[in-house]
Amino acid sequence: MKISEEELRKITLTAINELGDKASPELVRNIVSSAVDKLGAEAELPQAETSAAPVLDRAILTSFGLNRPGVIAKITALLAESGCDLRDVSQKIMDDFYTLIMIVDLSSSKYQMKELIEKLSKIEAELNVKIFLQHENLFRQMHRI
């Protein structure tokens, strides 16, 4: 049995009302905890400062230019080194040109986004291609309502 947040709020309010002046945050918390335990609920009490959804820290890497061996290898090697997780890759090759789009999860990256961009710009200069790394929120904001 799952207890919704709404039900949890009702239980808490009832407890507070019954306790009257004696209500303190710890006391209410204990009472609600035991009430939930009795109900055999799987619900966990929300912690004071937890945010509802995990914060997504994903970026979109776009690269294009003249196709040559080792472009993708260079980029992915850097991402691997930094500990980024590749969530999706899509690539198109037209004649001599390529376009590469990757969705990269930065949450486990050891580099800050700024450092990653600096490192990518070295690859850019070395291979004479274009590489952009932009946070996913930008694309969501512009293309999804």
Partner 1 sequence: MNYEFDEILDTIKMTEIEHFDIRTVTLGISLRDCADRNLEVSKQKVYDKIIKYGKNHVKFAEEVEARYGISIANKRISITPISIPFDGLNRYEFIEMAKTLDKAAEDVGVDYLAGFSALVQKGFTRGERELLEAIPFALAETKRICSSVNVGSTKAGINMDAILKVADLIKKTAELTKDQDSIGCAKFVVFTNVPEDNPFVAGAFHGVTEPEVVLNVGISGPGVVLDAIKAAGKVDLQTISEVIKKTIFKITRAGELIGREVAQKHGVPFGIVDVSLAPTPAEGDSIGDILKAMGVEDVGAHGTTAALAMLNDAVKKAGLMASSSVGGLSGAFIPVSEDQGMIDAVRRGNLSIEKLEAMTAVCSVGLDMIAVPGDTPASTLAGIIADESAIGLINDKTTAVRVIPAYGKKVGDVVDYGGLLGLAPVMSVREISSANFVNRGGRIPAPTRSLTN
Residues in contact with partner 1 by CB under 8 A are 60, 62, 88, 90, 92, 99, 101, 103, 113-114, 117, 130, 132-135, 137-139, 141-143
**Least distance from C-beta 144 to partner 1, angstroms?**
8
Query: By C-beta, is 4 or 51 nearer to partner 1?
Result: 51
**Least distance from C-beta 79 to partner 1, angstroms?**
17
**Least distance from C-beta 4 to partner 1, angstroms?**
28
Per-residue DSSP letter, 20 = G
Look up residue 58 and give its amino acid.
Answer: R
Helices 5-19 and 25-38 pack at an angle, to 10 degrees, of: 130
Query: By C-beta, is 45 or 132 nearer to partner 1?
Result: 132
Kind plus residue range of the DSSP H or E element containing 103: strand 97-105
**112: left (phi > 0), else alpha (psi -120 to 50), else beta?**
beta
